[in-house]
Amino acid sequence: MKSHRKELWFEVPQRRQLINITSEVERALGQSGITEGLCLVNAMHISASVFINDDERGLHADLEKWLERLAPEKPHGQYAHNRGEDNADAHLKRTIMGREVVVAVTAGRLDLGPWEQVFYGEFDGMRRKRVLIKIIGA
């Protein structure tokens, strides 16, 4: 069994953004030489997420509205965590969207469904953050 590790770094200039990272994950898989196994993609910060969904603008707008309804950014004072901070909503959004995804690797490719793409979700941007890609297999 082999393993391959790669980090992706992001510095999103606004507070929130969804970024399609499928091609970067595929590139890491190609670099690994692994043809059968598993690929973990993991947000390494508590206010960011990695998830799988469709790359469709309307859906992304719907996700933003839905997340804002579930965990609104303002007023900041509604959250105990925000005593001295302002990002409690980002922690909650990350909890909702998830920390990581695991994708099967089959015949040297990510075994994704027809419309599935891998996304990095930034919920408290304007600083440098990373995503870990760990691929194991043969």
Domains detected in the chain: 2-74+85-137 (2.60.120.460)
- The band of 15, judged by pLDDT with boundaries at 50, 70 and 90, is very high
Query: In angstroms, rounded to a whole number, what is the distance separating the alpha carbons of residues 63 and 65?
Result: 5
Dihedral in degrees, nearest 10, Cα atoms 64, 65, 71, 72: 110
Query: How many CA atoms does the CB half-sphere of 136 hold within 13 Å?
Result: 3
Task: Give 29-43 pLDDT, tens digit per residue.
Answer: 999 999 999 999 999
- The band of 84, judged by pLDDT with boundaries at 50, 70 and 90, is very high
Q: What per-residue confidence (pLDDT) applies to 107? A: 98
- Percent of the chain at pLDDT above 70? 100
Task: Give 102-136 pLDDT, tens digit per residue.
Answer: 999 999 999 999 999 999 999 999 999 999 999 99
Nearest CA to 53 among 18, 6, 10?
Answer: 18
Give the relative orientation of helices 88-97 and 57-70 as an angle to the nearest 10 degrees: 120
